Amino acid sequence: MIDQQLVTVTIDGTPVRVPKGTWLVEAAKQIKREIPVYCYHRKMGPAGLCRICLVEIEGMPKLQIACNTAVTDGMVVHTQSDKAADGRRAVLELYLVNHPLDCPICDKGGECDLQDYAMAYGQGYSRSVDPKVSKPKAVDLGPTIVLDEERCVVCQRCVRFDDMIVGERELVLKDRGVRNIIATANGEPYRHNFTGNVTELCPVGALTSKTYRFKSRPWDLRRTTTTCTQCPVGCQMHVDVRVGVVQRTMSLEDDDAISDGWLCDRGRYNVGFYDDPARVTQPMYKRDGGWVQIGWDDALDIWAAAIREACAVNPASVGVVGGGRLTNEEAFLLQHLFRAKGVANLDWRAGSQRQASPGRNGGTLVDLESCDAIVLIGESPAERAPVMDLRVRKAALQKGAKVIRIASAERPYPAPIPSTDVATVAEAIKKLPKDPKRIAIVWDGCDADFATSLLEKLPAGAQVLTYITGEQANARGAEAMGMLPFSEPGYGKAESGLDAAQMFAAARDGKLAVLSIFGANPAMYRADFARASFTAVSDLFMTETAQLADLVLPAKGPFEKTGTTTNMAGDVLPVNAAHSLETPADALSDLEMVVALAEKLGVELPVAEEVDAAVLRHLAKAPEDFTLGDARFGTSVILSPSKDPERRRKAHVEGIAFNVVVQTRVFGGGGTSAHDARIAELCPLPEAAFSPEDAAELGVNTGDYIDLVLDSVSDVVQAHHDNVGHDLLVEVRNGMPRGTIALIGGLPDSPASNLAGARVSVTNIRRAPEDAAEAIGAPA
Amino acid sequence: MSRKNLYNVGALLAGLGVTFKYMFKRKPTIQYPSRKKKHAPRFHGLHELRRYGDGKERCIGCELCSSVCPANAITVIGAENSPADRRSPGERYAARYEIDELRCIFCGMCEEACPTDAIVLTPRFEMSDYRRGSFIYSKDRLLVPPEAGTGLAPDDRPNGIPSDLGRVAEIKSTVSTDEGYDATWRGTILKTQTKGLAE
């Protein structure tokens, strides 16, 4: 950027020095001179459609649009001259010819660019005597977005967002003249992972979120800026609260380093669980098979007594699982407390992910854009880290990066970008572009074989950047804070304890006396989960794990507590409690719980300043000696078929047994999405995918419904996993390996998450109702 | 008894004279609550939310009243009309509408701001109660019942409307017209009082 030529342009008498080629509207921003725009957006560049940014440039006979005029040396611009004001006024008058004046019921009212500009630059009255053109209001575009056709000013920001940023091209411009309107291609529902962004892009109230329609007005909202903790990307977001309820979330447009100014729909819309009636509001203790509500003091006494007794006998019989969903401070204090009691069995890995710190090659999210090739291993970032997926799309669509996926059982890459599917590492190496300068490896953190062998075989000379997407938002922070059985805070070596799998194995053998689980649901995501003699769970809801516990403690959610979190790229980001959000009176944050427990156990914890300093110190250090798939992290849980004939079951139909592959979907997670009525429509249906050959052999087609029975499973699978799946929608998917069945993990009513590696067979095939298909296609 | 005391008898009679004079004058006191004073045409009393002729609520839940309210007494939470349960014309209606009458200063700004003439201030002023909570009026008390003869434009409603009440819908208000406001004009009383003070 040093050799960039600077030019001087005079805007309203103030000289500005900017790089040559800067758009005039950006140059004006440097002297805090705002030029009104509708179609222009910093991330998408100019379109030159809306004509509202007219300015007067000396030497040019007519007014020019500031968004699509590059500055030249010596240019003299007037944004406030009479001529410019006249031009803007005329453009605004045309905008308002057909724009309805329903500001009182419009969700954008109060933060609307048309309203603001009409006040600032408009003439204040209409010369039009004809009635306004009437168009449909509240047009349902899809599960998330409603379009008001009357209000649309056809700036095409949403269309260009779909085209340039997301690449899905679902929104199009339809018809001509006064009937010119936004619609979805072929009238299909507007559905991808980033639809909510168009409501923010829309300068008027044409595109609105279903979850926020008429809930509030902008001036009612109390705004807090915090970090989204739904996935490890860590997008910065505004949380807007009214009457104690989260009404909406908004992206930060200038968050270039992490979210690039966008939010995914999961992060944006899955915020309605805080006031769900199913929330645990009081400590619950299981007595004689039933739950009783107890006070915090009793709960802490029971918990502390169990830990104290077990520690007195053998500290190795105490285990802690969790930390990946907590803040850095909470994870730090949690391990501090238990290490002080001599407990070494600490692990954040409550799911199938085994590693979160990419080690010395870890790259930033911005670096991803400048890679020549991006190799995806395991589950794609499209389903695990959607906003990171936008960077992958940007690299592929705008910068021509090559996207290669290794051995994925998934359907084609769920983004409309050119991607290459290969089966082996050797093939992937062959498909790499010639002389790559920078290669990114994006791994889901589960199965390390491909990642480690790929790292070894990559061509020398190329810079390799590694990324680990994952299941838990602060997994990397938890690792740095020492929530690992073999590492202390700051990745130092610790006295080795049991990892999660070993803890559950010990629990099965009756060797684990006390198991404390913080913000994790291993019963949902791990087939080998087993409860200890005394199990305490801190969570927001009665999760599958909590139901198996002895003591359930009401925790606070991420918008209800303050601290820091670490994203996948190692950035330390603030988590702030949302202003005026109503929290159940008896809920404690995990930090408060750990502090109270430490008091009962007589452990002295470091004071807040020491914790903050320790967190920053440990996170500033990159784990230099880690690589992808480091051997110390062990292997993921993979079930092996049972050797015990008693546990084997007969195949019911045709005798074909399938290996289960569990796949993540953005909205497929249980947990918070199961308790959010606002996003129920976005959750995928429970489905089962087969290869075409297997489907032909079974005689099923896409659209049929099937049930599954367990054929053979590992010995470790507990009885509560026997319910495998009912009413699964069949999808015949090209490219699936034969003999496998892909299920969606984490659905509230699909217990498939912990079946990875199990063998199932198909039963009770029900055909898709033929009359239903006819009803769709048949003319009336 | 001195001469001075005789003069005092005169003063006593003069004073009693005033008493007797007023004894035979017309009395401003009225037998409240059986009779009630008539209010000034634009008296600002208790609010009410009105309806259209077809029974739909006029309020669209736009919150302009609550944002203009200088006392921050109004809370409105909007919601979307469903085709099955259409509360107001258009898309939006007020799911919750609450006025804290203890906080209200009866300035009438809400009435001014309302784009649909939904909220009006009636002459009703008797709101006393024993609990503070009961001064938070929600839609169940603010909204006129559908059978209250609602629905016509402000100026041509059934049974006419006293012109001196302006557009305040007496006939639609929760004030009973039978009990009447036939007492002395408030203006008259004020005039008398001013006169009395001057004298």
Residues 6+ apart with CB under 8 A from A501: A526, A528, A634, A637
| Within-domain flag for A264 | no
Q: In what order do the strands lie in the sheet with A145-147?
A: A139-140, A145-147, A207-209
Q: How far is A398 from chain B (nearest CA, A)?
A: 40
Chain A residues touching residue B60 (CB < 8 angstroms):
104-105
Q: How far is B174 from chain A (nearest CA, A)?
A: 27
Gap between the Cα atoms of A560 and A575, Å rounded:
9
Higher pLDDT, A767 or A541: A541
Range of the domain at B133: 47-170
- What's the number of domains chain B is made of? 1
Chain B residues touching residue A102 (CB < 8 angstroms):
90
Q: Could you tell me if A459 and A492 lie in one domain?
A: no
Q: What is the mean pLDDT of residues A392-407?
A: 90
Q: Which of A137, A219, A220 sits opposite B91 (nearest CB)?
A: A137
| Within-domain flag for A236 | no
Q: How far is A222 from chain B (nearest CA, A)?
A: 15
Q: Could you tell me if A415 and A374 lie in one domain?
A: yes
| Within-domain flag for A524 | yes
Which residue on chain B is closest to A139 by alpha carbon?
B91
The whole-number pLDDT of residue B174 equals: 38
Q: How far is A297 from chain B (nearest CA, A)?
A: 34
The whole-number pLDDT of residue A729 equals: 87
The whole-number pLDDT of residue A715 equals: 54
Q: Could you tell me if A482 and A619 lie in one domain?
A: yes
Q: Could you tell me if A366 and A332 lie in one domain?
A: no
Higher pLDDT, B79 or A412: B79
Which residue on chain A is closest to B96 by alpha carbon?
A215
Q: How far is A149 from chain B (nearest CA, A)?
A: 14
The whole-number pLDDT of residue A491 equals: 86
Q: What is the mean pLDDT of residues A668-674?
A: 76
Mark out chain A residues that contact chain B at CB-CB < 8 A: 102, 104-105, 109, 137-138, 213-217, 219-220, 243
**Interchain proximity B61–A219, CB inside 8 Å:** no
| Within-domain flag for A591 | yes
Range of the domain at A35: 6-80
Looking at every residue in chain A, the average pLDDT score rounds to 87
Interface probe for B, chosen from A101, A105, A111, A217 (most Cβ of B below 10 Å), is A105
Residue A28 DSSP SS3 = helix
Gap between the Cα atoms of A559 and A567, Å rounded:
16
**Interchain proximity B60–A105, CB inside 8 Å:** yes
Q: What is the CATH number of the domain that holds A770?
A: 2.40.40.20
Mark out chain B residues that contact chain A at CB-CB < 8 A: 60-64, 67, 77-80, 90-92, 115-116
Q: What is the CATH number of the domain that holds A520?
A: 3.40.50.740
Q: Could you tell me if A747 and A664 lie in one domain?
A: yes
Chain A residues touching residue B62 (CB < 8 angstroms):
104-105, 109, 217
Which residue on chain A is closest to B114 by alpha carbon?
A104
- What's the number of domains chain A is made of? 4
Helices A328-340 and A590-601 cross at an angle (nearest 10°) of: 20
Q: Could you tell me if A457 and A478 lie in one domain?
A: no
Contact status, residue A565 vs residue A573, Cβ threshold 8 Å: yes
Q: Pairing mode, if any, of strands A236-242 and A222-227? A: antiparallel
| Within-domain flag for B6 | no
Q: What is the mean pLDDT of residues A744-751?
A: 72
Chain A residues touching residue B61 (CB < 8 angstroms):
105, 214
Of A468, A502, A536, the last residue of a domain is A468
Which residue on chain A is closest to B94 by alpha carbon?
A214
Q: Pairing mode, if any, of strands A657-663 and A740-744? A: parallel
Q: Could you tell me if A657 and A755 lie in one domain?
A: yes
**Interchain proximity A214–B79, CB inside 8 Å:** yes
Which residue on chain B is closest to A108 by alpha carbon?
B62
Q: Give pLDDT tens digits for A582-591.
A: 999 999 999 9
| Within-domain flag for B40 | no
Q: What is the CATH number of the domain that holds A452?
A: 3.40.228.10
User: First CA to last CA across chain B, in angstroms?
Assistant: 34
Token readout for A517 is 């689980």
The whole-number pLDDT of residue B166 equals: 34
Gap between the Cα atoms of A615 and A335, Å rounded:
12
Residue A2 clears pLDDT 60, i.e. is over it: no
Confidence of residue A626 (pLDDT cuts 50, 70, 90): confident
pLDDT > 70 fraction of chain A, expressed in percent and rounded: 92
Q: At B67, which amino acid appears?
A: S
| Within-domain flag for A94 | no
**Interchain proximity A214–B115, CB inside 8 Å:** no
Q: What is the count of residue pairs from A and B with beta carbons less than 8 Å apart?
A: 34
The whole-number pLDDT of residue A35 equals: 94
**Interchain proximity B115–A217, CB inside 8 Å:** no
**Interchain proximity B91–A138, CB inside 8 Å:** yes
Higher pLDDT, A757 or A76: A76
Chain A residues touching residue B80 (CB < 8 angstroms):
213-214
The whole-number pLDDT of residue A770 equals: 58
Gap between the Cα atoms of A558 and A766, Å rounded:
42
| Within-domain flag for B7 | no
Least confident of A49-63, A358-372, B34-48: B34-48
The whole-number pLDDT of residue A624 equals: 72
| Within-domain flag for B197 | no
Chain B residues touching residue A109 (CB < 8 angstroms):
62
Residue A33 DSSP SS3 = coil
Q: How far is B103 from chain A (nearest CA, A)?
A: 18
Helices A82-98 and A113-121 cross at an angle (nearest 10°) of: 130
Q: Give pLDDT tens digits for A698-737.
A: 888 888 888 887 765 555 555 445 556 778 888 888 777 7
Chain A residues touching residue B64 (CB < 8 angstroms):
104
Please report which residue ranges of A366-448 form alpha helices under DSSP H: 381-384, 386-398, 425-431
Helices A296-313 and A590-601 cross at an angle (nearest 10°) of: 60
**Beta strand extents in A259-304 (DSSP E only):** 284-287, 290-293
Of A598, A633, A668, the last residue of a domain is A633
Interface probe for A, chosen from B59, B80, B86 (most Cβ of A below 10 Å), is B80
Q: What is the CATH number of the domain that holds A25?
A: 3.10.20.740
Least confident of A550-559, A624-633, A699-708: A624-633
Residue A656 clears pLDDT 90, i.e. is over it: no
**Interchain proximity A105–B77, CB inside 8 Å:** no
Q: How far is A122 from chain B (nearest CA, A)?
A: 21
Angstrom distances, CA of residue A734 to CA of A381, A410, A411, A695:
21, 10, 7, 11
Of A468, A483, A510, the last residue of a domain is A468
**Interchain proximity A104–B62, CB inside 8 Å:** yes
Chain B residues touching residue A104 (CB < 8 angstroms):
60, 62, 64, 115-116
Q: Could you tell me if A661 and A591 lie in one domain?
A: no
Which residue on chain B is closest to A107 by alpha carbon?
B62
Chain A residues touching residue B90 (CB < 8 angstroms):
102, 105
**Interchain proximity A220–B63, CB inside 8 Å:** yes
The whole-number pLDDT of residue B105 equals: 95
- pTM score, whole prediction: 0.86
The whole-number pLDDT of residue B5 equals: 67
Which residue on chain A is closest to B72 by alpha carbon?
A220
ipTM, interface predicted TM-score of the complex: 0.82
Q: Could you tell me if A450 and A540 lie in one domain?
A: no
| Within-domain flag for A139 | no
Confidence of residue B199 (pLDDT cuts 50, 70, 90): very low
Least confident of A249-258, B93-102, B109-118, B155-164: B155-164
Q: Could you tell me if A540 and A604 lie in one domain?
A: yes
Q: What is the mean pLDDT of residues A30-42?
A: 93
Interface probe for A, chosen from B63, B110, B138 (most Cβ of A below 10 Å), is B63
Contact status, residue B41 vs residue B25, Cβ threshold 8 Å: no
Q: Which of B67, B77, B91 sits opposite A105 (nearest CB)?
A: B91
